[in-house]
């Protein structure tokens, strides 16, 4: 056997090895991306549930809460009141309109029944899906143009995606969150 045939066989085997490592590396990256997307969808779903619970808490109590126990207890035992609003417009003698507003309470429904499915485990509300870590919950009042307003921020403390970090310049590449400590919003950075 001459040197050309030996080198051909060696290069053929090296090229097969390199192809295997390239393909396995790419498939690993694809699987990792699928796993990250799957977990982030669960986190987004949980953040939307927490947002709904916090908004209901604020409507009922006048402020957001930064206490997980208060929020869980409210969702578990609290009630949302169903109201009907009627407006009557009366034209006055001099042409102006007067509006009479009447609000009637029709009844109430449990918070847990109106916000969550029947198989939802309320005790797991504070926890990141597939983890024992709690979301970071912050609520307070801030001064916005001379008016004290309620603000809230809930953040995933340990994102699965390694590219999500607080120092990231791109807002939607920061850890998944909703709300803000400086703005009056309950929007999520995934929206």
Average pLDDT value for the chain: 85
Query: How far is the CA of 61 from the CAs of 70, 134, 145, in angstroms?
Result: 11, 23, 23
Work out the average pLDDT over 81-110. 84
Q: Quick one: pLDDT band at residue 132, thresholds 50, 70, 90?
A: confident
Q: Could you tell me the pTM of the whole model? A: 0.76
Whole-number pLDDT of residue 188: 86
Give 3-state DSSP helix, strand, coil % of the chain, rounded to 5.
40, 25, 30
Q: Quick one: pLDDT band at residue 112, thresholds 50, 70, 90?
A: confident
Residue whose token pair is 């001459």? 2
Q: Quick one: pLDDT band at residue 165, thresholds 50, 70, 90?
A: confident
1 has a pLDDT exceeding 80: no
Whole-number pLDDT of residue 190: 85
d(CA 47, CA 53): 10
178 has a pLDDT exceeding 80: yes
| Cβ contact 66:138 at 8 Å | yes
d(CA 135, CA 156): 5
How do residues 62-78 score in pLDDT, each as one tens digit? 899 989 999 999 988 88
Residue 117 φ/ψ region, left for φ over 0, alpha for ψ in the -120 to 50 degree band, beta for the rest:
beta
Phi and psi angles of residue 156, each rounded to the nearest 5 degrees, phi first: -70, 120
Whole-number pLDDT of residue 50: 92
């Amino acid at each position: 056997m001459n040197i050309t045939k030996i080198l051909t066989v060696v290069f053929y085997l090296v090229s097969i090895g390199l192809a295997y490592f390239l393909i396995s590396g790419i498939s690993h990256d694809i699987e990792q991306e699928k796993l990250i997307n799957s977990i982030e969808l669960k986190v987004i779903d949980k953040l939307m549930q927490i947002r709904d619970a916090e908004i209901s808490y604020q409507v009922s109590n006048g402020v957001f809460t930064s206490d997980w126990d208060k929020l869980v207890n409210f969702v578990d035992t609290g009630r949302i009141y169903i109201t009907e609003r009627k407006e009557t417009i009366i034209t006055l003698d001099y042409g102006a309109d007067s509006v009479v507003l009447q609000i009637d309470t029709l009844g109430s429904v449990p918070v847990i029944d109106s916000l969550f499915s029947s198989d939802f485990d309320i005790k797991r509300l504070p926890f990141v899906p597939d983890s024992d870590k709690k979301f970071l919950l912050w609520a307070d009042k801030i001064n916005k143009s001379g008016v004290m307003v309620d603000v809230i921020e809930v953040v995933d403390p340990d994102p699965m995606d390694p590219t999500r970090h607080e120092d990231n310049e791109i807002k939607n590449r920061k850890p998944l969150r909703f709300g803000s400590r400086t703005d009056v919003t309950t929007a999520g950075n995934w929206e």
